[in-house]
Amino acid sequence: MIAPALTHALASWLDYCRALNGAAENTIKAYQADVMGFLAFMTVHHGAQQGLGPLSDITLTDMRSWMAAERGRGVGARSLARQLSAVKTFYRWLSEREGFEPTAVLSTRSPKFTKKLPRPLAEDAATAMIETVELQATDAWVAARDSAVVTLLYGCGLRISEALGLTGADVPLPPVLRITGKGGKERIVPVIDAARAAVQAYLQLCPHPMSPDAPLFRGIRGGALNPRVVQKVMEKSRLQLGLPASATPHAMRHSFATHLLTAGGDLRAIQELLGHASLSTTQAYTAVDTAHLMEVYVRAHPRH
């Protein structure tokens, strides 16, 4: 059992993450689950209630035991690295507040894992995807809606949550959109003519009234469009086009970034357009571009 004082400390830390770090609610839930899982393990591991006192005495051996137990129950290296990061962040905050030495926890090495490169679509495949999603629906307004959503993902580099978060107040789409992304971070995104035209075509056919506070993209009954609907229509389209399982809504955002980079786009400008907090996140697209370059080289070089 976790002591009330520690439960209160965890709740205070999560409030701190919400208020000062601007963490999204899904991130808060992940933090809570990761740290609670860690504390639950330590309770069983030590056979005693975990309060603030015992927590300050955790050793490197305890940390290794926890990580070994997590791997033993099938947690992958990437997920374990995320869990450890949450635990370390909580410990750093708690140690500053309570005045204990957190070195054993903070010095624990994260498991190594290979970072997955973004998997964008080729330019012709991205265009084909937009055209094919429009063919999946029998209702013309639904077809126009699906095409408009996917065009926004690819044309503006939006996350699916950002596209579906647009409201009637955003139409007609202006030349630039002010998007609030992860962690409440705002960015300015240029809107290409094709995206404005696609949204306008959808609005002309949409049977549901559009007020400023209503969601722009609607489900069949008029409520906010569920992202799973977009995922399903893209899944159906990718099977028809013979594209890999990685051809998801998020792949359209990856494609936006990669194709801009290939065309000579500046990495920092692309970082701003995507709303990445760190340039290192955006730099993954450099690796994608290099990988494509090497692929072309191997395929075309006469020595190969």
Hey, which residues are catalytic here?
Answer: 159, 182, 250, 253, 276, 285
- 298 by Cβ neighbours in 10 Å (0-12 / 13-18 / 19+) ranks as exposed
Q: Give the rounded distance of the alpha carbon of 185 from its chain centre.
A: 13
Q: Tell me how far apart the alpha carbons of residues 218 and 229 are, in angstroms, rounded to a whole number.
A: 11
Q: What does the DSSP assignment read for 13-82?
A: HHHHHHHTS---HHHHHHHHHHHHHHHHHHHHHHTS-B-HHHHHT--HHHHHHHHHHHHHTT--HHHHHH
Q: Tell me how far apart the alpha carbons of residues 106 and 93 are, in angstroms, rounded to a whole number.
A: 11
Residues 6+ apart with CB under 8 A from 231: 160, 248, 249
Residues 6+ apart with CB under 8 A from 144: 134, 198, 201, 202, 204, 205, 206
Helix (H) and strand (E) counts in the chain: 15, 2
E-strand ranges in the chain read: 176-180, 186-190
